[in-house]
Amino acid sequence: MSFLDRKRLEEAFRGKRIGRPLVLLERTSSTMDVARERTSEPGTLVVADRQDAGRGSRGRTWSSPPGTDLYLSFVWGPLEPIANPGVMTLAVGLGVAEAVESLTGKHTLVKWPNDVLLDHAKVSGILVESSGDFSQGVVVGLGLNVNRASFPDDLAEGATSLHLATGRTFEREEVLVETLASVEQWLARYEQLGPAPIVEGLDRRLAYRNERVRAGEIKGVVEGIAKDGALILRDGTELHRILAGRVEPIE
């Protein structure tokens, strides 16, 4: 028996752009690796119960114990040559944030460039990879902490799960279906309307807005998001465009 109800998921994904074909794995090194081999099959969804080498941003390891959370990757495409993976990452973040808010009843934030915060702690991380050939689409990796009751000491302070935030236990199938439906809607908006709805959607969800943060060597107040997905920081009269890296609040 699979760790997820395949029949239920296949029924839920019927007519959707994400989830067909569906690959369910009890264990894998990384769902990104599996999905990357299937970029010629847009819509492919790979979900694992356990990852041995899951990756987060900048090559960090994503803690992936079995039986509790969601570890998945999917192929989205084909894309227009002007597609921007940075904006796509933010679109996915908005989709995850809306789904988590719907599931928990708690407001969520998107932490630029690729995290979703619940109770001001990380509940999800996103990774978008492109080979540069947009006709082959991109691979979107997503980790979502669902029923985790605790975290390793080095993660405990800054991480949470749907369970820890609410005290409830969630069906992973329900979380998966609702999350991907929301993600698909936001990616479709980006395809049809460009970056404007993504920037607008972040207006009420951008973490640290009007707060002072550090991005590498640059410090400033978070002003918002540019149309190309860059984070805008203001330091006095000077504006800085942050294109990559890690952002942390300054206490």
Using pLDDT thresholds of 50, 70 and 90, give the confidence band for residue 58: very low
pLDDT recorded at residue 153: 77
Q: What is the pLDDT of residues 146-173, one digit of tens each?
A: 999 998 877 768 999 999 999 999 999 9
pLDDT at 81 over 80: no
Do 35 and 46 meet the contact criterion of CB atoms below 8 Å apart?
Answer: yes
Handedness of CA 33, 82, 189, 121 (dihedral sign): positive
Residue ranges of domains in the chain, CATH in brackets: 6-204 (3.30.930.10), 212-249 (no CATH)
Q: What pLDDT, in 10s, does the model give residues 215-245?
A: 999 999 999 999 999 999 999 999 999 999 9
Residue range 85-94, pLDDT digits in tens: 899 999 999 9
What residues pair up with 109 in beta bridges, in sequence order?
117
More confident site: 152 or 99: 99
Q: Mean pLDDT of all residues in the chain?
A: 92
Question: Taking the alpha carbons of 18, 41, 197, 231 in that order, is the dihedral positive or negative?
Answer: positive
* Closest among 91, 31, 86 to 62, alpha carbons compared: 31
Q: Which helix (H) or strand (E) holds 199?
A: helix 196-201
Confidence class for position 78, pLDDT limits 50, 70, 90: confident
Q: Give residue for tokens 């236990």.
A: 169
- pLDDT of residue 60 exceeding 90: no
Angle at the Cα of 217 (from 206 to 92), degrees rounded to 5?
Answer: 30
